[in-house]
Amino acid sequence: MVFELQHTLADSGARAGVITTAHGSIPTPIFMPVGTVGSVKGVHQRELREDIDAKIILGNTYHLYLRPGTDILFKAGGLHKFMGWERPILTDSGGFQVFSLSAIRKLTDEGAHFRSHIDGSRHLFTPENVVDIQRIIGSDIMMALDECAPGTADYSYARKSLDLTLRWMDRGWRRFNDTEPLYGYSQSWFPIVQGCTFPDLRRESARRVADLGADGNAIGGLAVGEPAEVMYDMIDIVNDVLPTDKPRYLMGVGTPVNILEAIDRGVDMMDCVMPTRNGRNAYLFTPDGTMNMRNRKWADDFSPLWPESPSFTGRAYSKAYLRHLFIADELLALQIASIHNLAFYLWLVRQAREHIAAGDFKSWKSCMVEILSQRL
């Protein structure tokens, strides 16, 4: 993997670049649609390519390990071939999913012991076997196993959690370097900065992560209960330490405003389930603000969802039609809203990139944050 930094700014941490992987190039800043089980919910791969123009998507190690399982994925030749997606894929290590299973998991130095949410069967993720699983998945970018501590954790818990994550990180890095890809193309491995909301822990973690010299670095453990301003402070602290010549991936964030604020602070890559999850709940993002498509006000509004949309979906369907589909509980409503929201998120980061290149990102972002905070 190669990262080329193309544009930086004097008045902002925002930057634009290109990540080149075996499955294609990714212009940054970039938003990555979440395809947890090898599928972006409600969106066909053709639509991801042609209507949304997603440059990279995510899969999840935890979910893919449980279903369809590593045997099937290996026989298929990896996730790219299994799902018919020829562009880059990033896989999370499953650490966040194990975090969310707090009632049915136990963390030890060995790894994360957990029960499947599907059938209750017992499993163990270690820093080593999570690398092995991601080798079988064949993702272009794989993530280290970490513990994602709650945003409200106290200092004692955060300290112990970070120590565990750092020990796991070193073991995962060794395993990555001691193993080879399975399908004839290179893979990259990103360590993850943790440390909750404590500046000293975040700095320590960022230094340890930077010292590894991996192809890129991730920032985890944010947007898990802490206030947005605290999240932004942690991003500033971490990006003051992480190397500028490697891509920075902010995991699981967030709203359109969160994304612009993260870009302003030097983040290159982001993902979140929000565009598709909110879309399935009739909540649309637009360049003029947000819309609840169940509201009566859209019932006889026959204007397009987004007249200037780069997506066919945004231009082709009216607000009245989409509201009708939601009220009638039609599955097409979920699909249209998901495609629309993803197209908007990808449009937003492309606009950010253009304004970084033009040198006026800071003023553009300030205007957009105000607009995007409105409810229509």
* Residues involved in catalysis: 92, 271
Omega within 30 of 0 (cis) for the link into 29: yes
Rounded Cα distance between 90 and 143, Å, is: 8
Beta strand residue intervals within the chain, DSSP E? 2-8, 15-21, 24-28, 30-32, 57-60, 89-92, 105-107, 112-115, 122-125, 141-143, 188-190, 192-193, 217-219, 248-250, 269-271, 283-286, 289-292
Handedness of CA 234, 237, 240, 243 (dihedral sign): negative
Rounded Cα distance between 23 and 250, Å, is: 21
Distances (CA, A) of 17 to 4, 256, 310, 357: 5, 20, 22, 10
Is-contact 292 283, C-beta < 8 A?
yes
Return the amino acid letter for 247.
P
Is-contact 242 210, C-beta < 8 A?
yes
Nearest to 91 by CA among 37, 53, 47: 37
Is-contact 374 290, C-beta < 8 A?
yes
Q: How far is CA 292 from the centre of its chain?
A: 24
Task: Look up residue 52 and give its DSSP letter.
Answer: I
Rounded Cα distance between 66 and 287, Å, is: 38
